[in-house]
Amino acid sequence: MQRVTPHVFTSTEIRGCNPSYVVTSAGVVVIDTPQLPTKAVQMRRQAEEHGPIRFVVNTEHHVDHIFGNYWFKGAGDVVHHQGVADNFMTVTPDLDPFAYALEAIPTDDPGAAGMIPDRDTYYEDPNAGDLVFTGDLDMTVGGTTFHLIHTPGHTPGQVAVYVPEERVVFTGDTVFSECQTWLMTSDIDQWVGALDVIAGLDVDTVVPGHGPVTTPAYLATQRSVLLEWTSAVAEAVAKGWSREETIERVHFRDKFGPVDVGQGYMMDHIQSLNAASLWDKFTAKRAPVR
């Protein structure tokens, strides 16, 4: 774990999100759990060296932020937004999150092979939310304040965790620092608005969902990534390009950095997915106004 401030720790060099924790005088608050099971166990052990884990906060429902919850059972209450609860480890036509998590085991966490329960056992209790909220939520643990701010865009239940005493904000995947951004099924307008909200916080340090720890100055870079993607695909639609032509011609492989740790092989997939999802949104037929 990288020490960000005297009381804030994160990990930016393993596959998955940047799992983190904050040490308070009354225990530890975990913010997102590692996707890789052995890393989840190690992180829990390290966190508990500072005191009991009081809460486990998930910033979003994507599997790399929540799969590790299974190995944090009994370690404090799990806290997340209703939007996370509604989509927690839910299988969709586009993604089976359990199968996706298991894909990483042979290459990135072979020691976890014997730790993975079968699907039915896992889904009996994946350690989802004990405390589920709508809007925003404020918590105080041992004199340390945690503002859980609803910042939808990347996902509907996205939250940023603002810790004013540490002058730190944990953004989840609202920020991809120096690596490729996954647009997926996001709402770009909301995402830009979320960046504006985070930019208004009084912080020195931004712990992103992926990539190295950064500063508030990087929020403008993240905004430009979103706007360049939308502008490029909007221009493709205006030119009458088909979905396939847009996927082939619109990409940012060489501009927005590498793919985050352990997923370099997914570069082409990210480019195709981003272009296709935006093309679908721009060309969707809207019901007539009556």
User: How much of the chain, in percent, has pLDDT values that exceed 90?
Assistant: 92
Average pLDDT over residues 1-16: 96
Segment 144-177, tens digit of pLDDT: 999 999 999 999 999 999 999 999 999 999 999 9
Average pLDDT over residues 51-58: 98
CATH of 2-224, one of 3.40.50.720, 3.40.140.10, 1.25.40.10, 3.60.15.10: 3.60.15.10
Which structure tokens are listed for 53? Answer: 């884990």
Answer yes or no: are the C-beta atoms of 210 and 176 closer than 8 Å: yes
Which structure tokens are listed for 60? Answer: 């979003």
pLDDT band at 62 (very low <50, low <70, confident <90, very high): very high
pLDDT at 257 over 60: yes
Which structure tokens are listed for 289? Answer: 């106004």
Specify the 3-state DSSP secondary structure of 115.
Answer: coil
Q: Which residues pair with 162 in a beta bridge?
A: 147, 169
Cα–Cα distance between 195 and 224 in angstroms, integer? 11
* Nearest Cα to Cα of residue 116 among 16, 168, 40: 40
Return all residues near 116 (Cβ < 8 A) that are at least 6 apart.
37, 102, 105, 122
Answer yes or no: are the C-beta atoms of 69 and 127 closer than 8 Å: yes
13-17, 35-39, 66-70, 262-266: which has the minimum mean pLDDT?
262-266
Cα–Cα distance between 36 and 280 in angstroms, integer? 33
pLDDT at 289 over 80: no
Segment 85-105, tens digit of pLDDT: 999 999 998 899 999 999 999
* Pairing mode of beta strands 8-10, 2-5: antiparallel
Specify the 3-state DSSP secondary structure of 61.
Answer: coil
Please tell me the number of Cα atoms within 13 Å of 7 on its side-chain side.
20
Residue ranges, comma separated, of all CATH 3.60.15.10 domains in the chain are 2-224
Which structure tokens are listed for 283? Answer: 């060309």
Rounded alpha-carbon distances, angstroms, from residue 276 to 49, 110, 117, 141, 254: 46, 33, 35, 43, 18
